[in-house]
Amino acid sequence: VYGAYNDPDRSEKPLMPATRKTRAPAAAGKAAPRPYHHGNLRQALIDAAVQLAGEGGPEHVTVREAARRAGVSPGAPFRHFPSREALLTAVAEEAMQRFRAEIAHSLDGREAEPPLQRLRALGAAFLHWALRNPTHFRIISSRHLIDFDGSAVLRRDNLEVRRLSESLLQEAQGAGQMQAAELPLLALTTRALVYGLARMEIDGQLPQWDVPGPAEPLLLAAMELFVGMLELPSAAG
């Protein structure tokens, strides 16, 4: 019913029909000991899975279809991933890395701004990425789809994003610009707010909230309302 999600995640690659790669069968081969197919099946499968996720959400990712798009037999992927979950976890690793990079990048050149101002930029980058990559956001968010604990890079990138916001909150507290509260609780509350905003949109709940225009400005306004409440009256303005 919800139909094609129209996820701009998908790379520019045209959607290949599910046929084998056409390749000059034995053109100018110097009998190079090329493996079996196009070099890196593992990455080709991840790419296909990314593409599939972009087309129809995580449920749409299928080991067999990924194999088809990579031009191999249905059993081949299991040489590289022990399960469908492992393939999705590999997709999550790529997505989480881009997510982390974009968030970190949003703070570049803002070292001089007050910490809560930088927190706004971080929150905006979080929301922006989530709205542009809804499927990938779902994949990295839910432990029902992937083996989060089993992936060191997933844990590392995730922790780094968390650390970024925690250090900004701590800085604001140190500068006396923020209401007093235990830092871990404050960090959790802040994250829950931004996560909840992103999730409401991605889960399709926003239409139930009588939102007239596009989602992003509204979510930004909500996030800024929250950060505004964190700010001490003396520091505001």
Partner DNA sequence: ACCTGAACACCGTTCAAGT
Q: At what angle do helices 84-105 and 41-56 cross, to 10 degrees?
A: 80
Which residues does 1 contact at the CB level (< 8 Å), separation at least 6?
none
Q: Which residue from 6, 11, 40, 142 is in contact with its own copies, where contact means CB under 8 A?
A: 142
**Residue 134 and residue 5 in contact, taking contact as beta carbons nearer than 8 Å:** yes
Q: How far is the CB of 234 from its own copies (least distance, A)?
A: 12
- Which partner, DNA, its own copies, none, binds residue 41 by CB below 5 to 8 Å per kind? DNA
Q: How far is the CB of 233 from its own copies (least distance, A)?
A: 9
CA 230 to each of CA 156, 170, 176, 197, 223: distance values in angstroms, whole numbers, following the listed order:
28, 12, 11, 17, 11
Q: Render 122-182 in DSSP notation, one character per residue.
A: HHHHHHHHHHH-HHHHHHHH-TTTS-STT-HHHHHHHHHHHHHHHHHHHHHHHTT-B----
Residue 228 binds DNA (CB under 7 A): no
Residue 230 binds its own copies (CB under 8 A): yes
- Which partner, its own copies, DNA, none, binds residue 147 by CB below 5 to 8 Å per kind? its own copies
Type of residue at 99? F
Residue 163 binds DNA (CB under 7 A): no
Q: Which residue from 8, 150, 176, 214 is in contact with its own copies, where contact means CB under 8 A?
A: 150
Beta bridge partners of 231: 178
Alpha-carbon dihedral 20, 85, 58, 102, rounded to 10 degrees: -100
Residue 30 binds its own copies (CB under 8 A): no
Q: Which residue from 6, 11, 21, 74 is in contact with DNA, where contact means CB under 7 A?
A: 74
Size of the site for DNA (CB under 7 A): 22
Residues in contact with its own copies by CB under 8 A are: 1-2, 57, 59, 85, 141-144, 147-150, 155, 158-159, 162, 179, 181, 184-189, 191-197, 199-200, 203-205, 207-210, 218, 221-222, 225-226, 229-230
Contact set with DNA (CB under 7 A): 35-37, 41, 61-65, 71-76, 78-80, 82-85
